[in-house]
Amino acid sequence: MNYVAYYRVSTAKQERSGLGLEAQQRVVREFVGDRGALIAEFVEVESGTVDDRVELSRAIGESIKSDATLVVARLDRFSRSVSFISGLMERGIGFQVAEMPNASDFQLHIHAACAQEERRLISERTRAALKEAKKRGVELGKYAKVLAATNKRSADEFASTLEPHLKSMVGMNFSYAAMSRVLNGENIKSYRGKQFYPSTVRYIVKRLNLS
């Protein structure tokens, strides 16, 4: 059996450090083992709350084209949304979770439902805590606002250095995947000093209002 692996990390910091990514790769590769061949791997830097992801779409497309099974290390690397998991199943897209190799569709539904409910409860608790802190006169997020502003300036400055390259490629209707290949081929590094992915390029293009 052929497998297509999908890995997701939530932040650029995780991408840069390898935290999370290396562990996912190890789990998936151990799972595939002698079950078959790992024919493609896709890495995404994106929040799990976003279901419309470039690399995930590519991974699904590759699995369909190659008649391969999509595999992730953990269910939450796909999504914590029950509807999203159900949608994959309804479309007949075969996928497996390496940490749950024997799980049935029903069990995957249950785990997704539990993860979704956990996320909702965390959100509610966070909002309640912030509301109480505000009542006590606590100034919320002062340091975070300063840090965010500093990071934004740095990111804007970096993005501006890429504008000539990206503007030209956007004008020629290059895909984000093609743009990332060009940048990597020219040995241009991302803001974090790593290689470019389609999702990284998409973010910068939108930041520069080129699309």
102 and 153: one domain? no
For residue 50, the model assigns a pLDDT of 67
How many Cα neighbours within 13 Å face the side chain of 121? 6
Contact 40, 56 (CB under 8 A): no
Per-residue tens of pLDDT for the chain, all 211 residues: 899 999 988 765 544 444 478 888 999 999 999 888 999 999 888 776 666 788 888 998 999 999 999 999 988 787 767 777 777 787 888 888 898 888 887 777 777 777 666 667 767 777 777 777 677 766 556 555 655 666 677 778 888 888 888 888 888 888 888 888 888 887 788 877 788 898 888 888 988 888 7
CATH, residue 11: 3.40.50.1390
Q: Residue 194's domain spans which residues?
A: 142-207
Please give the distance of CA 93 from its chain centroid, rounded to a whole number.
Answer: 19
- Return the exposure string of 26-58: e unless at least 16 CB atoms fall within 10 Å of the residue's CB, then b: ebbbebbeeeeebebbbbbbbebeeeebbbbeb
- Position 169 in a domain: yes
How many Cα neighbours within 13 Å face the side chain of 205? 23
- Position 129 in a domain: no
For residue 68, the model assigns a pLDDT of 93
Number of domains making up the chain: 2
For residue 125, the model assigns a pLDDT of 77
Structure tokens at 4: 């297509």
Structure tokens at 123: 């959100």
12 and 94: one domain? yes
| Domain-terminating residue out of 109, 126, 153 | 109
11 and 83: one domain? yes
Classify the C-alpha dihedral 171-44-26-186 as positive or negative.
positive
| Domain-terminating residue out of 84, 109, 134 | 109
Nearest to 162 by CA among 192, 183, 184, 193: 183
